[in-house]
């Protein structure tokens, strides 16, 4: 039996899990509920992201790692739900989506 | 090569895994809910990606943020991301086992430190956003 | 206690027992028995009553009757339990359903095929392989209480396989090495006297090793000895990840050579 390459994905999954656990709830309140309650306007939020490199880096981390977290966990969830066919294709699809999303986020945020 | 030589019987009965196995026990159901939180974690990352993609167009940015669909997503996602946070912190002590001499550090302390850190970070994030917007 | 045992009471308990007799039928069936209810009887006592007094054809494994040997694990009302540890009074007056441990192939009635499990114990080398060979005259391998504490919890395993019957990852994929064997591998890896963690790593860091585990955590909940296989596996995942990145970043770094003829 060979040692698996799973640590690549598992470490990204774990890092994404930690980031998501600590940061998503508060960020979700800021993007979802603050504008609704009138604490922040869309314009203010836009300027906040547009002006600060720190906010852009923060958003990059909050996009990239949770995408890998999703890809890894979703791969196992789909198998647990009984869809075990085409496991290799599924892996390519899910991790591929996370990689594409990460590249898109990097390009968009560097250009912005 | 195992030294143990199994005396496999001529006939044996295999019970197949039922498709709805995760509906058959509360703990399995909660496990599946925990796993499905990833859809909302990934979904929120996708939402943020869509949002930053509209940085160049403030009107489209505002339209996405104020779209009823986005509000519905946030309302649906909140309980799932909170469930992710809770379950993640609760199992952290299982992967992160710390010994102080012969004594295992109480898992409640390790999970508790995560909760305290989470509250501090969350308050700080909201506070920073508040200050930044006030000064803008 | 003796009093309740000898009291003649008319109370009875209904047992629905899984029967599989490959010589008679391809398909299993449930058979209902009525046994006397006794305060101090466990499910295993009821099964022995059936075998002795009602139906001698019923087959099941048991030995010590006191939660040590790990032979009498069965599904009791859908929960993996040691039947010697499951009192009738905790179920009475409801009927009790007894089935063989989930996810394992059934050989006969309540008896499962445990060959796979025994193979896995061998594959992970669930025994002590000393880091240094020493002559008897050189004395014992010393270990501090702090070193003992690292693995002691995992050494409580009695190989009862309840954790496998609770594990959907094993239910989906019977090649998965599974909770007990992985916890035992970790038990020896964490033992300061042992030097074979690198030999075990090829098996436990494989796809069928720790990476099949989705951390359901039920193995820890059903364990009658409070072993926490889920924790052992997560710790091994952390170790495997360190090992992997070390081999990528420092490919020239030496891994321990597997020793020959062990």
Which residue range forms the structural domain that includes residue B56?
21-80
Please enumerate in sequence order all residues whose Cβ is within 8 A of that of A76, keeping only pairs 6 or more positions apart, or say none: B35, C214
Buried/exposed code over C222-244 (b: 16+ C-beta within 10 A; e: otherwise) = bbbbebbbbbbbbbbbbbbbebb
Question: Domain boundaries in chain A?
Answer: 10-111
Residue percentage of chain C with pLDDT more than 90: 84
Q: Which chains touch B (3 or more CB pairs under 8 A)?
A: A, C
| pLDDT at A35 (0 to 100) | 77
User: From the candidates A2, A6, A87, which should be mutated to test the interface with C, based on the most C CB atoms within 10 A?
Assistant: A6
Tokens of A65: 């790692």
User: Do the domain assignments include residue B8?
Assistant: no
Give B15-52 pLDDT, tens digit per residue.
Answer: 988 889 999 999 999 999 999 999 999 999 999 999 99
Q: Could you tell me the strand order of the sheet in which C79-82 lies?
A: C29-36, C12-19, C96-99, C73-76, C79-82
Interface residue A23 vs chain B (CB under 8 A): yes
Half-sphere exposure (Cβ direction) of C18: Cα atoms closer than 13 Å: 24
Do B25 and B63 belong to one domain?
yes
B positions 57-86 inside 8 Å of A (CB): 58, 61-62, 65-66, 70-71, 73-75, 77-78, 81-82, 84-85
Interface residue A106 vs chain B (CB under 8 A): no
Alpha-carbon gap: B114 to the closest alpha carbon of chain A (Å): 9
Interface residue B97 vs chain C (CB under 8 A): yes
Round the CA-based radius of gyration of chain C to a whole number and report it.
22
User: From the candidates C113, C176, C182, C236, which should be mutated to test the interface with B, based on the most B CB atoms within 10 A?
Assistant: C113
| pLDDT at C161 (0 to 100) | 97
Give A9-45 pLDDT, tens digit per residue.
Answer: 999 999 999 999 999 999 999 998 877 777 788 888 8
C102, C107, C118 member nearest B4 (Cβ): C118
Phi and psi torsions of C153, nearest 5°: -55, -40
Alpha-carbon gap: B64 to the closest alpha carbon of chain C (Å): 36
Do B76 and B31 belong to one domain?
yes
Q: What is the DSSP letter of B103?
A: E
For residue C258, pLDDT beyond 50: no
Give yes or no for a contact between C238 and B95, defined as CB atoms under 8 angstroms apart.
yes
* pLDDT, greater one: C210 or A43: C210
Give yes or no for a contact between C37 and C28, defined as CB atoms under 8 angstroms apart.
no
Chain C residues closer than 8 Å to A8 by CB: 244
For residue C5, pLDDT beyond 60: no
Give yes or no for a contact between C95 and C15, defined as CB atoms under 8 angstroms apart.
yes
Tokens 């997560």, located at residue: C234
> Total domain count for chain B?
2
| pLDDT at A43 (0 to 100) | 84
Do B105 and B63 belong to one domain?
no
User: Do the domain assignments include residue B87?
Assistant: no
Characterize the bridge pairing of strands C73-76 and C79-82: antiparallel
CA–CA separation, B88 vs B115, rounded Å? 10
CA–CA separation, C114 vs C181, rounded Å? 13
Do B27 and B74 belong to one domain?
yes
* Average pLDDT over chain C, rounded to an integer: 91
* B48: closest chain A residue by CA: A63
pLDDT category at C8 given cuts 50, 70, 90 is: low
| pLDDT at C260 (0 to 100) | 41
User: What CATH architecture is A10-111?
Assistant: Up-down Bundle (1.20)
Do B110 and B74 belong to one domain?
no
C59 exposure class (CB count in 10 Å sphere: 0-12, 13-18, 19+) = middle
Interface residue C212 vs chain B (CB under 8 A): no
* C233: closest chain B residue by CA: B95
User: Do the domain assignments include residue B7?
Assistant: no
CA–CA separation, C197 vs A7, rounded Å? 17
Give C107-162 pLDDT, tens digit per residue.
Answer: 999 999 999 999 999 999 999 999 888 888 988 889 999 999 999 999 999 999 99
The domains of chain C, with CATH numbers, are 2-112 (3.10.20.30), 115-249 (1.10.1060.10)
User: Do the domain assignments include residue B110?
Assistant: yes
Half-sphere exposure (Cβ direction) of C49: Cα atoms closer than 13 Å: 17
Cα A97 to chain centroid, rounded: 10
Please answer yes or no on whether A26 and B117 come within 8 Å at the CB atom.
Answer: no
Interface residue A81 vs chain C (CB under 8 A): no
Do B69 and B31 belong to one domain?
yes
Residue C14 sits at the vertex; the CA angle it makes with C12 and C18, to the nearest 5 degrees, is 150
CA–CA separation, C38 vs C161, rounded Å? 28
pLDDT category at C218 given cuts 50, 70, 90 is: very high
CA–CA separation, C61 vs C70, rounded Å? 10
ipTM above 0.90, yes or no: yes
Interface residue A88 vs chain C (CB under 8 A): no
Chain C residues closer than 8 Å to B33 by CB: none
B positions 3-42 inside 8 Å of A (CB): 19, 22, 32, 35-36, 38-39, 41-42
Give yes or no for a contact between C192 and C143, defined as CB atoms under 8 angstroms apart.
yes
* A77: closest chain C residue by CA: C214
Do B75 and B49 belong to one domain?
yes
Please enumerate in sequence order all residues whose Cβ is within 8 A of that of B68, keeping only pairs 6 or more positions apart, or say none: none
Give yes or no for a contact between C100 and C109, defined as CB atoms under 8 angstroms apart.
yes
């Amino acid at each position: 039996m060979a040692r698996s390459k799973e640590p690549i994905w598992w470490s990204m999954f774990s890092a994404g899990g930690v980031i998501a656990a600590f940061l998503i709830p508060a960020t979700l309140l800021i993007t979802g509920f603050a504008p609704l309650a009138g604490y922040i306007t869309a314009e203010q939020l836009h300027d906040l992201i547009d002006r600060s490199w720190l906010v852009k880096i923060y958003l990059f981390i909050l996009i990239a790692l949770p995408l890998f977290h999703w890809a890894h966990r979703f791969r196992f969830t789909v198998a647990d739900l009984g869809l075990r066919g085409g496991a290799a294709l599924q892996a390519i699809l899910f991790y591929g989506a996370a990689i594409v999303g990460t590249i898109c986020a990097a390009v968009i945020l560097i250009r912005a | 090569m195992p030294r143990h030589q199994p005396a496999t019987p001529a006939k044996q009965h295999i019970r197949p895994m039922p498709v709805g196995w995760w509906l058959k026990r509360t703990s399995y159901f909660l496990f599946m809910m925990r796993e499905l939180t990833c859809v909302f974690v990934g979904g929120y990352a996708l939402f943020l990606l869509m949002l930053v993609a509209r940085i160049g167009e403030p009107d489209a940015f505002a339209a996405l943020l104020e779209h009823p669909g986005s509000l519905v997503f946030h309302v649906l996602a909140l309980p799932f991301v909170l469930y992710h946070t809770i379950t993640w912190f609760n199992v952290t002590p299982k992967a992160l086992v710390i010994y102080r001499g012969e004594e295992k550090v109480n898992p409640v302390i390790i999970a508790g430190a995560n909760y305290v850190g989470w509250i501090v970070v969350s308050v700080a994030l909201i506070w920073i956003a508040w200050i930044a917007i006030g000064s803008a | 206690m003796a009093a309740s045992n000898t009291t003649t009471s008319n109370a009875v308990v209904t047992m629905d027992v899984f029967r599989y007799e490959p010589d008679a039928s391809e398909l299993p069936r449930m058979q209902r028995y009525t046994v006397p209810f006794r305060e101090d009887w466990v499910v295993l006592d009821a099964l022995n009553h059936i075998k002795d007094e009602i139906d001698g054809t019923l087959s099941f494994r048991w030995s010590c009757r006191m939660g040590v040997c790990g032979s009498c694990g069965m599904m009791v009302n859908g929960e993996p339990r040691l039947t010697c540890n499951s009192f009738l009074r905790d179920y009475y007056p409801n009927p009790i359903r007894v089935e063989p441990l989930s996810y394992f192939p059934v050989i006969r009635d309540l008896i499962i095929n445990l060959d796979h499990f025994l193979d896995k114990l061998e594959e992970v080398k669930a025994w002590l392989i000393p880091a240094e060979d020493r002559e008897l005259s050189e004395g014992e391998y010393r270990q501090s209480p702090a070193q003992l504490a690292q693995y002691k919890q995992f050494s409580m395993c009695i190989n009862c396989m309840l954790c496998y019957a609770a594990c959907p990852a094993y239910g989906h994929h019977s090649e998965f090495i599974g909770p007990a064997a992985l916890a035992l591998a970790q038990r020896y890896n964490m033992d300061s006297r042992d030097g074979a963690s690198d030999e075990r790593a090829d098996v436990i860091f494989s796809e069928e090793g720790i990476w099949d585990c989705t951390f359901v955590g039920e193995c820890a909940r059903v364990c009658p000895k409070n072993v926490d296989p889920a924790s052992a596996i997560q710790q091994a995942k952390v170790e495997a990840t360190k090992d992997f990145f070390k081999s990528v970043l420092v490919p020239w770094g030496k891994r321990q050579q597997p020793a020959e003829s062990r």
